[in-house]
Amino acid sequence: MGSPAIAILGTGSYAPARTLTNDDLSKLVDTSNEWIFSRTGIRERHIAAKDETTSQMAAAAARIAIADAGITTADIDLIIVATVTPDMAMPSTACFVQNHLGAPGHAACFDLNAACSGFIYALDTAWAMLGSGRYRYALVIGAERMSTVLDWTDRTTCVLFGDGAGAVVLGPARGTAQIIGTKLYAEGAHADLLCIPETGCSPSDQTPGGLRKQPTITMKGREIFKNAVREMEQAAREILHQHHLEPSAIDCVIPHQANLRIIASIGQHLKLPPERFFVNLERYGNTSAASIPLALDEARSTGRIKPGDTTLMVAFGAGLTYGSALVRW
Ligand SMILES: CC(C)(COP(=O)(O)OP(=O)(O)OC[C@H]1O[C@@H](n2cnc3c(N)ncnc32)[C@H](O)[C@@H]1OP(=O)(O)O)[C@@H](O)C(=O)NCCC(=O)NCCS
């Protein structure tokens, strides 16, 4: 007998109230709305309030996902938070989320770092854990406070990212809806292309005074762009092939929301029209691990994803990590 079928039972998302437009950014660095929009498709992004943490945003998204799934917090026995911007190095953001929600003490809680592919990695992990039969309901969350790891004087990176959270509840399939497959990849040889280098734990972070720098993102944008197109296409093609599906069988693609030109290239390579892709990066920028679950929730709540649809999620991020997931609703 195979593993029990597991489905996404509910989705939720949260974005901070404050928005920062491209025009706002042009007052901070030498840039323009025209440059940012034409190169990326982004018009604005949400920025967390001073006292708003990653775990608070994660919990806000999780509450909506739990209600949508028709279960209660007491049913949750696994919480995974994908993030590169945890509240603290320890304890995990997932433990803070558990506390914010009042989830039961028997829930296993941990964070997962696969950068912008974090949600797909966490989905794969939770699916496997639920498939073992030892856990019943899991919260899988992508949550980021990217505004804290941006160098606000570097126009090549600070215009790209935003804050937010997205969450899903996984549990026993109730009908034909289920997770069909996932596929994960990593290419550590390209780790230098996109980094937040200083953790304070590395010998190179130590200074004679014992001080460490505020960690911020460094990126080789053009290299990232090329790798993103190639690797997201590979992740999409291989999972479709594995499950004997043509790209045309996909009702909605939810790509990592980094750059509209990257998404358009993937569409051309897969011969899928732009309408087949759900895109909301215009209003959020790149929210890293939060990007796919945030888009997924919006696609569901606006009716873009309907019961019976097949969705392909495909992600790419620092690592380099990449991956894909096929889900039937
Ligand atoms: C970052 C990115 C938008 C830059 O676009 P690009 O077309 O490759 O632009 P380039 O890096 O070649 O830069 C072109 C020029 O614009 C300038 N520029 C960079 N950022 C700018 C900004 N915000 N405003 C105005 N000019 C900018 C550069 O300095 C460069 O000037 P130069 O030609 O005088 O040196 C693009 O490479 C990209 O999206 N890469 C992927 C990034 C990503 O998605 N990262 C996250 C992955 S999970």
Q: Report residue 38's pLDDT band, with 50, 70 and 90 as the boundaries.
A: very high
State in Å: Cα 40 to ligand 1 middle: 9
- The reply to whether 116 belongs to the active site is yes
How far apart, in whole angstroms, are the C-alpha atoms of residue 19 and residue 162?
9
Q: Report residue 285's pLDDT band, with 50, 70 and 90 as the boundaries.
A: very high
State in Å: Cα 293 to ligand 1 middle: 26
**What are 153-207's pLDDT values in tens digits?**
999 999 999 999 999 999 999 999 999 999 999 999 999 999 998 766 666 666 6
Q: Is residue 213 scored above 70 in pLDDT?
A: no
Give the predicted TM-score (pTM) of the model: 0.96
Q: Spot the catalytic one: 113, 227, 259, 286.
A: 286
Identify the CATH number of the domain defined by range 180-328.
3.40.47.10
Among the atoms of ligand 1, which is closest to the Cα of residue 258? 44
Locate CATH 3.40.47.10 in the chain: 6-175, 180-328
- The reply to whether 286 belongs to the active site is yes
Residue 159 CB less than 6 A away from ligand 1: yes
- Where are the strands (E) in the chain, listed by range? 6-14, 19-21, 44-46, 78-82, 108-112, 138-145, 163-172, 178-186, 194-195, 218-219, 252-255, 310-317, 321-328
Q: Spot the catalytic one: 22, 113, 227, 256.
A: 256
**What are 94-139's pLDDT values in tens digits?**
999 999 999 888 899 999 999 999 999 999 999 999 999 999 999 9
Identify the CATH number of the domain defined by range 6-175.
3.40.47.10
